[in-house]
Amino acid sequence: MILDVPPVSELMTPMQFDENDLQANHDGQIGANQRIRLEGFQRRALLIGFGSFFGIGLLAAIFMYFAQVNDSVIFTFIGIMLTIINALMVGFVGRQWMQLAGDLRNNTVAVISGSVERVVQPDGRMNNFVLRVNQETFYVNKELFKLFRHETPYRLYCAPYSRVLLAAEPTD
């Protein structure tokens, strides 16, 4: 059974881009709607970073306080581990923020052309929906996953540093 390949117009709504964005992508640039989307991701990373920094930091401080009051090696160890986890978390969030900032500053897109491989990766009680093109992997939602056809040529546009999928179009 051969399925018809949906036109690019059907990909626009779930991927949050329009004709102007696609034209900008053809010119190697990030479109206006895509810029707004990346800025939203950057804002979200900052909020998650601040929230987790203060939450985990407070928890670490509480454990260190009880360790000092009770002279407990276990609470001291937990406090130290929480401090290390906090530092790692801030590093990950900071890296994501800087990648998005680099994408927005450079205002360019990476173009990946090739045959799309659709993969469903079971993960416990849920599935991860993956699109692969030329060894590049993009995790997408189920709605978008259903719109792509397996082993059909597409041109994907993504942010070069953060690798956020911005737009896609079927090719001949």
Q: CA 95: distance to chain centroid?
A: 12
Q: Does residue 3 have a pLDDT over 70?
A: no
Q: How far apart are CA 57 and CA 63, in angstroms?
A: 10
The structural domains of the chain, with segments of one domain joined by +, span 8-28+108-170, 36-106
Tell me the backbone φ, ψ of residue 110, rounded to 5 degrees: -95, 135
- Token digits of residue 84: 């290390």
Give the pLDDT of residue 1. 41
3-class state of residue 46 by DSSP: helix
What pLDDT digit, counting tens, does each position of 122-150 carry?
A: 988 999 999 999 889 999 999 999 999 98
- How far from 170 is each of 6, 10, 45, 80, 134, CA to CA, in Å? 8, 11, 31, 51, 15
DSSP codes joined into one string, 98-140: HHHHHHHHH-B-EEEEEEEEEEEEEETTEEEEEEEETTEEEEE
| pLDDT score recorded for residue 9 | 85
Q: What is the CATH number of domain 8-28+108-170?
A: 2.40.50
Contact 110, 160 (CB under 8 A): yes
